[in-house]
Amino acid sequence: MRSYHQYCGLAKALDVIGDRWTLLIVRELLLRERCRYTDLRNGLPGIATNLLADRLRELEEAGIVSREEAPPPIATTVFRLTSRGRELEPIVNQIGGTTRFAVIGSACQQGCTLQIVPPSGPRSPSSSVAAMPRL
């Protein structure tokens, strides 16, 4: 895990939750409560399996995620947020609700138009910000 090596509370928090994919893992666990590894992987298209495993291990070490063995018939490892992890819910909701992105028009071969959609609803077409190439 990277560190800012600062004593500021914000820097310390970002040491734990500031890495790429971390808050998206938290989001998935907030939505599903308990998840198998495969559920998390399916809910996070594009994340490498080794990166997901690393982030889960880091979150577990930080006391944000717990791992437990589910009894039969599931008989697999499941992940869930600890009480400390659930405290991130208002933060995730605030970040996620501040700006929403929407694809305007149909997807095309070369790209699509990205529009920032505020929580109050879409703005005029002139608020489109960029054409994003298709990956």
Q: Which CATH architecture has domain 9-96?
A: Orthogonal Bundle (1.10)
In the chain, where the domains are located: 9-96, 99-133
Residues in the chain, overall count = 135
Question: How many other C-beta atoms can be found within 10 angstroms of the C-beta atom of residue 60?
Answer: 15
The tens digit of pLDDT for each residue in 45-102 reads 999 999 999 999 999 999 999 999 988 887 899 999 999 999 999 999 888 875 555 4
pLDDT on residue 85: 96
Q: Helix or strand or coil: residue 35? A: strand
pLDDT at 121 over 80: no
Average pLDDT over residues 108-123: 50
Q: Which residue has the tokens 């409560």?
A: 33
Q: Which residues contact 102 (CB under 8 A, 6 or more apart)?
A: 114, 115, 117, 122
pLDDT on residue 93: 87
The strand ranges marked E within the chain are 34-36, 65-69, 77-81, 100-104, 111-117, 128-133
For the four alpha carbons of 111, 116, 120 and 123, in that order, the dihedral sign comes to negative
* More confident position, 121 or 32: 32
105 pLDDT band (50/70/90 cuts)? very low
Q: How many angstroms separate the CA atoms of 130 and 61, rounded? A: 39
